[in-house]
Chains A and B, each alone.
Chain A
């Protein structure tokens, strides 16, 4: 089973700043099969990025994903108030599909 480790655990930032979130896999993720999700309190996760770098429908271009192998990154440029949430990565290159433990982006 591929273990995903996200860092940092919490990111304290202000609106307008850039967020950089890391997701490291315990072994190489096949074909960049890495997704990112956003979750707000009381809500289901929302798909942001799939294939490591493709934005899902309706996701603004301030969200950018990149990486390959074992190291993946999600950047959020110019944080908007609605971007303060928890972000999860998920690999789907190898069953069982696994998730990282999450990074919380909070108001500074």
Chain B
């Protein structure tokens, strides 16, 4: 059974860099069939896919246009975890952030969610 455990701070100030980590158990970052995704949810924007990392003979990262330039997803294969970095946050980035496993690009396992609140 795949499990995703999220960690990271929930309160931030404007212009800081958001940092969240998702630890994977029951699967590996190097899986040739899975993708590892970050998704957020807010009342104003609904569910919004932010980006993903996956391995297919080499590592690929893809990001949503809405956050491109501010987002970076990194991987730590030794600890089987991946991280989200979102720079220059503002109040509009206040949301519940989820990590999720993608299979054929639908999401079958999700982390528990982290409420990130951005204030000035």
Measured CB to CB, the residues of A under 8 A from B are 33, 35, 37, 43-47, 50, 56, 88, 90, 92, 95-102
For B35-65 the 0/1 string (1 means CB < 8 A from A) is 0000000000011110000000000001011
**Is B92's CB within 8 Å of the partner chain A?**
no
For the residues of A in contact with B, the DSSP-based class is: loop
Interface size class of B (residues with CB under 8 A): 10 to 19
For the residues of B in contact with A, the DSSP-based class is: strand
CB distance from A32 to the nearest CB of B (A): 11
Measured CB to CB, the residues of B under 8 A from A are 46-49, 62, 64-65, 98, 100, 104-108, 110-113
Q: Give the docked Cα–Cα distance between A98 and B100 (Å).
A: 14
A-B contacts counted at CB < 8 A amount to: 46
**Inside 8 A of A45's CB, which chain B residues have their CB?**
47, 98, 107, 110
**Inside 8 A of A56's CB, which chain B residues have their CB?**
108
**Inside 8 A of A101's CB, which chain B residues have their CB?**
46
B49 close to A98 (CB less than 8 A): yes
B106 close to A90 (CB less than 8 A): yes
